Structure 1
Amino acid sequence: MQQAATNWWVEITTLSPRCIYYFGPFETNEEAKAAYPGYVKDLDGEGAKGIIVVIQRCQPKELTICEEDKI
């Protein structure tokens, strides 16, 4: 039986646009490390700025979370 939050996920935060993306799940930290450069390349190609990558064990409820500009 698999416990919640045992899978590895790549969490990528971008400052512009202000978003958090989750990619996964991966069975090992090494699989996540091998995969994340492709995600960063795609986001960079889409013009994202301020890219921060964190590899962690978690269970995201949403795969993409973006802050809407509220005025």
Structure 2
Amino acid sequence: MKTDEIWTNALDFLGQAWWVEVLTTQPRCTYYFGPFGGAELANRAVSGYVEDLQSESAQEIKTQVKRCQPNRLTIEHDLED
């Protein structure tokens, strides 16, 4: 395991890693991509995640880079209602 992976895993364990949160309205989902060791790394990855979701016909895509510790990587809100 590389040093940067160890650092990122430690940050994630402590809830201090950076994640890309993506919200879509169709499907009505929240996606988390990460973890990242810094906000800059996470921001650089955003466009690739948006492109992937656009190719799957997701609509009204909103992104946010933030520190968090998601319990699930994909939350399908329509299934929870």
TM-score (norm: length of structure 1):
0.90
1:21 corresponds in structure 2 to 31
Q: Which 4+ residue blocks in structure 1 deviate beyond 3 angstroms?
A: none
CA distance in 1 between counterparts of 2:79 and 2:71 reads: 22
Q: Secondary structure at the match of 1:49?
A: coil
* Structure 2 length-normalised TM: 0.80
Gaps of at least 5 residues in structure 2 are: 1-9
Q: Give the root-mean-square deviation of aligned CA atoms.
A: 1.9
Q: Which residue of the other structure, out of 9, 20, 38, is the alignment partner of 1:10? A: 20
Distance 1:24 1:39 in 2: 11
Residues 32, 68 of structure 1: CA spacing in aligned structure 2 closer, same or farther, 3 A cutoff? Answer: same
- List per-residue Cα deviations over 1:8-61 (Å, max 9, x = no partner): 000000011000000000000000000110000000000000100010000000
Unmatched 5+ residue regions in structure 1?
A: none
